[in-house]
């Protein structure tokens, strides 16, 4: 039960964080937004590690660093996709991958997965095709191919982050998160400086970016705890329900609407997330 509660909290926090990050990325570079958001969470994790120390090994830092690279690419890609395309399409498309791939990893590793969960993976693939398709020229302009490609990259990046964090020691505290942030901040700052020569944000993007960073930090703590307590498939898939939050915020704040066929795709994507969690 605790795994379900923590995973649900992860979805709520990630959904709010992604919405704010997407808003900030419409006002400034997605790389700069992600770099600043991760810099804030780096400070939070550094303080938390000092306040709540735990034993850790070198392997825990390596897995955390790998998660940082994968997650950093995922967040930057997601913010870019949210800035270019429609939030109500990008979010569930990303979640279908980030929730399904860790479950597939468990299957390949030998973890027993029931047929219903396998059916969920197939549903996720169908949802990806449906959600990505736009019928009218003006709608295709709202969801360009680059946004779809970035959404795919984000889903794969998040899935890798889930898997790498699951390989870190369960008694290593928040050190894997700190290692992940050190690497992701270094990577994203380097890319940002190479692209524009500075990492400062536009004034109207700062509040959203830092809000996204604070919520993302909290989401990573609940996610890591859920992974350690329960099965990876359950924690990762339920933790990928964040599109519900992002879609509701996009509809409420931005007034986004979806075509009927795309609504069906969103429902399928969310159904796939739930089906792959059933053990």
Distance CA 212, CA 256 (A): 20
- pLDDT of the residue at 204: 92
Kindly compute the dihedral angle of the four CA atoms of residues 114, 123, 241, 96, in this order, to the nearest 10 degrees. 110
Distance CA 104, CA 89 (A): 23
Q: How far is CA 235 from CA 98, 167, 230, in A?
A: 11, 14, 7
DSSP state of 135: -
pTM of this prediction? 0.80
How far the first Cα of the chain sits from its last, in Å, is: 14
- pLDDT of the residue at 113: 60
Distance CA 61, CA 179 (A): 6
Burial label, 267 (beta-carbon count in 10 A; 0-12, 13-18, 19+): middle
Residues 6+ apart with CB under 8 A from 140: 134
Lookup: tokens for 61: 């830092």
In tens digits, the chain (279 residues) has pLDDT values of: 687 789 889 988 988 998 998 899 889 988 899 889 989 999 999 999 999 888 888 899 999 999 999 988 888 888 888 888 877 778 778 888 888 888 788 778 876 666 776 687 677 767 766 765 555 545 545 667 888 899 899 999 999 998 999 999 888 999 999 999 999 899 889 888 988 888 899 999 999 999 999 999 999 999 999 888 877 777 777 787 777 788 778 878 888 776 777 678 778 777 777 776 665
- pLDDT of the residue at 103: 77
- pLDDT of the residue at 133: 58
Phi and psi of 239, rounded to 5°? -70, -10
Distance CA 127, CA 141 (A): 20
Burial label, 135 (beta-carbon count in 10 A; 0-12, 13-18, 19+): exposed
- pLDDT of the residue at 205: 92
């Amino acid at each position: 039960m605790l795994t379900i509660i923590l995973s649900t909290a992860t979805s709520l926090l990630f959904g709010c964080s992604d919405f704010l990050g997407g808003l900030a990325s419409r006002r400034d570079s997605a790389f700069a937004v992600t770099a600043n958001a991760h810099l804030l969470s780096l400070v939070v994790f550094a303080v938390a590690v000092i306040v709540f120390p735990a034993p850790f090994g070198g392997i825990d830092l390596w897995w955390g660093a790998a998660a940082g690279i994968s997650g950093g690419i995922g967040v930057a890609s997601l913010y870019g996709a949210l800035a270019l395309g429609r939030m109500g399409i990008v979010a569930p498309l990303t979640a279908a991958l980030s929730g399904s791939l860790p479950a597939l990893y468990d299957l390949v590793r030998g973890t027993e997965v029931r047929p219903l969960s396998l059916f969920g993976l197939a549903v996720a693939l169908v949802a990806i095709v449906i959600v990505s398709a736009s019928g009218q020229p003006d709608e295709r302009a709202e969801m360009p191919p680059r946004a779809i490609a970035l959404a795919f990259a984000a889903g794969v990046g998040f899935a890798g982050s889930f898997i790498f964090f699951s390989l870190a020691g369960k008694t290593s505290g928040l050190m894997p998160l700190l290692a992940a942030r050190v690497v992701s901040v270094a990577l994203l700052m380097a890319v940002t400086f190479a692209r524009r020569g500075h990492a400062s944000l536009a004034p109207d993007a700062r509040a959203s970016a830092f809000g996204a960073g604070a919520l993302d930090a909290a989401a990573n703590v609940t996610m890591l705890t859920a992974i350690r307590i329960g099965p990876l498939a359950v924690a990762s898939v339920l933790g990928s329900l964040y599109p519900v939050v992002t879609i509701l915020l996009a509809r409420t704040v931005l007034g986004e609407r979806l075509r009927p066929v795309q609504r069906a795709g969103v429902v399928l994507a969310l159904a796939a997330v739930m089906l792959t969690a059933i053990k």
